[in-house]
């Protein structure tokens, strides 16, 4: 899901995960209407949101951050084992305060935390924020690998190039409405048009700077 | 917006690569090879969705406050009933009614504190988390 700043991407993810009540419309998960469900209930059943700006606890160690995810009946040892199997770099940093790791490592931890709980639906909000393109590409390769294990993933991203490469479907959100959706290759072509054509004036300069980054 | 969790025949057919995952997920799902998506769908189906939750809390909060007022009133009425008669039987009834008033007051206070504190504690907890997040983030 792509879109200029303020398009409502994060808001939509918060609505899906039950943190906000939509004023209109409804959310369907696995064929069931879940609008208004308790976010805790949804999380317990396997809906996982990684919010904007690293949803980790910076003053806790990496290990303690991982332990937070034992609520689905997975033991602490299993949680650590799975996280390190996916991200070997975290293995050497288990006792380090999470906030002292590099941005990329912190996002690895956020992803690791999400996958050890075996989510069925994973919502990712701007994983790439403040990361180098190389790190972003690595992260999205991992995201693709998780998706290949039959986890439904919705990714919100400004870094369009990185995510369009691994996505199955893409959509552009402008001012709270989808202005385009389809195959990533098609969306990549229309992207600047969709951003500029449908966006309101203040969003315009953000959109063009985003294009510059691409 | 609809999120379709795709139930995949490959997952059901090849439990080998999922072995570690399925064995640990839950004892409740039982049969091996049940895909995560199917499990999710089943769990979502059992989800109880309360009607706007804040509303029931608000109603209970008001109920608690109302009982806090009604309880002492009942006791007060019982006092006047007892005061206006010399019949010991009627006075004993009044004592019972006064005790009911006290019980209602205590119950009301409990409900009121529970639902006013819940809102307050949740806010406090969120605030605490936020403050802890900031220095590192
Ligand atoms: N609870 C709220 N009440 C009123 N307005 C809100 C609320 N939450 C978000 N908004 C507004 O909705 C708009 C969309 O916000 P949102 O965070 O979803 O944008 P976004 O697409 O994620 O942008 P970005 O790319 O900058 O993260 C913003 O203008 C924001 O100020
Ligand atoms: Mg956002």
The CATH number of residue A26's host domain is 3.40.50.300
CA atoms of A10 and A19, how far apart (whole Å)? 11
Question: How close is the Cα of A118 to the center of ligand 1, in Å?
Answer: 29
Q: What is the pLDDT of residues B92-125, one digit of tens each?
A: 999 999 999 999 999 999 999 988 887 788 778 8
A34 contacts on B by Cβ (under 8 Å) = 44, 47, 49
Tell me: do A134 and A199 sit in the same domain.
yes
Residue A198 pLDDT class (50, 70, 90 cuts): very low
Best of B43, B45, B125 to disrupt the A interface (most A CBs within 10 Å) is B43
- Asked whether the predicted pLDDT for residue B86 surpasses 50, the reply is yes
Tell me: do A136 and A114 sit in the same domain.
no
Average pLDDT of chain A to the nearest whole number? 83
A25 contacts on B by Cβ (under 8 Å) = 1
Query: How many folded domains does chain A comprise?
Result: 2
In 3D space, the residue among A188, A189, A214, A209 whose CA is nearest the CA of residue A199 turns out to be: A209
Q: What is the pLDDT of residues A9-40, one digit of tens each?
A: 999 999 999 888 888 888 998 888 888 888 88
B21 contacts on A by Cβ (under 8 Å) = 118, 149
Q: Which residues contact A51 (CB under 8 A, 6 or more apart)?
A: A10, A13, A125
Question: How close is the Cα of B106 to the center of ligand 1, in Å?
Answer: 44
Q: Which residue in the set A30, A32, A150 is minimally distant from B11, CB to CB?
A: A150
CB of A3 closer than 6 angstroms to any ligand 1 atom: yes
Tell me: do A162 and A106 sit in the same domain.
no
Q: Which residue in the set B1, B5, B25 is minimally distant from A152, CB to CB?
A: B5
Decide which of B48 and A155 is more confident: A155
Q: Do B5 and A100 touch (CB under 8 A)?
A: no
Best of A16, A37, A45 to disrupt the B interface (most B CBs within 10 Å) is A45
Tell me: do A103 and A204 sit in the same domain.
no
Domain boundaries, chain B: 51-133
* Domain end call among A70, A91, A118: A118
Tell me: do A135 and A107 sit in the same domain.
no
Is residue A51 assigned to a domain?
no
Is residue A36 assigned to a domain?
yes
Work out whether strand A47-50 and strand A121-125 pair parallel, antiparallel, or are unpaired.
Answer: parallel
Decide which of A202 and A191 is more confident: A191
In 3D space, the residue among A21, A29, A168, A13 whose CA is nearest the CA of residue B3 turns out to be: A29
Is residue A78 assigned to a domain?
yes
- Asked whether the predicted pLDDT for residue A142 surpasses 70, the reply is yes
Q: Do A45 and B47 touch (CB under 8 A)?
A: yes
Best mutation site among A3, A10, A127 for ligand 1 pocket (most ligand atoms within 8 Å of CB): A10
Residue A182 phi, psi dihedral angles, 5° rounding: 155, -155
* Domain end call among A66, A95, A118: A118
Longest pairwise C-alpha distance within chain A: 52
Cβ proximity of A180 and A194 under 8 Å: yes
Is residue A30 assigned to a domain?
yes
CA atoms of A153 and A145, how far apart (whole Å)? 11
Cβ proximity of A154 and A83 under 8 Å: no
What pLDDT was estimated at residue B120?
Answer: 80
Tell me: do A100 and A84 sit in the same domain.
yes
Tell me: do A147 and A189 sit in the same domain.
yes
- Least confident range of A13-22, A58-67, A101-110, A203-212: A203-212
Tell me: do A30 and A87 sit in the same domain.
no
Question: How close is the Cα of A137 to the center of ligand 2, in Å?
Answer: 20
What pLDDT was estimated at residue B99?
Answer: 96
Tell me: do A151 and A202 sit in the same domain.
yes
Is residue A11 assigned to a domain?
yes
Q: Which domain holds residue A17?
A: 1-46+119-214
Tell me: do A194 and A127 sit in the same domain.
yes
């Amino acid at each position: 899901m792509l879109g200029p700043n303020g398009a409502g991407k994060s808001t939509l993810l918060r609505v899906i995960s039950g943190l906000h009540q939509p004023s209109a419309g409804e959310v369907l998960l696995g064929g069931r209407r879940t609008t208004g469900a308790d976010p805790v209930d949804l999380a317990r059943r396997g809906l996982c949101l990684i919010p904007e700006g690293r949803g980790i606890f910076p003053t806790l160690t990496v290990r303690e951050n991982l332990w937070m995810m034992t609520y689905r009946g997975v033991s602490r040892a299993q949680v650590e084992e799975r996280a390190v199997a996916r991200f070997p770099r975290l293995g050497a940093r288990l006792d380090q305060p999470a906030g002292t790791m590099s941005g990329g490592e912190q996002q690895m931890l956020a992803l690791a935390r999400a996958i050890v709980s075996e989510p069925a639906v994973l919502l990712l909000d701007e994983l790439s924020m403040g990361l180098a393109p190389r790190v972003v590409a690595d992260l999205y390769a991992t995201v693709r690998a998780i998706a290949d294990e039959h986890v439904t993933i919705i990714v919100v991203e400004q870094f369009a190039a990185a995510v369009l490469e691994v996505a199955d479907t893409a959509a552009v959100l402008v001012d709270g409405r989808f202005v385009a959706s389809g195959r990533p290759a098609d969306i990549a072509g229309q992207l600047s048009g969709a951003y500029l054509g449908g966006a309101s004036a203040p969003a315009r300069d953000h959109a063009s700077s985003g294009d510059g980054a691409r | 917006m609809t999120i379709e969790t795709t139930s995949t025949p490959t997952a059901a057919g090849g439990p080998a690569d999922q072995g570690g995952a399925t064995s640990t997920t839950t004892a409740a799902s039982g049969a091996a090879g049940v895909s995560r998506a199917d499990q999710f769908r089943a769990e979502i189906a059992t989800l109880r969705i309360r009607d706007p939750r804040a509303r029931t809390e608000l109603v209970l909060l008001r109920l608690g406050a109302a009982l806090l007022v009604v309880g002492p009133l009942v006791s007060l009425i019982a006092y006047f009933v007892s005061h206006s008669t010399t019949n010991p039987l009627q006075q004993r009834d009044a004592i019972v009614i006064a005790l009911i008033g006290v019980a209602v007051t205590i119950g009301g206070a409990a409900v009121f504190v529970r639902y006013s504190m819940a809102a307050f504690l949740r806010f406090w907890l969120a605030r605490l988390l936020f403050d802890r997040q900031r220095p590192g983030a």
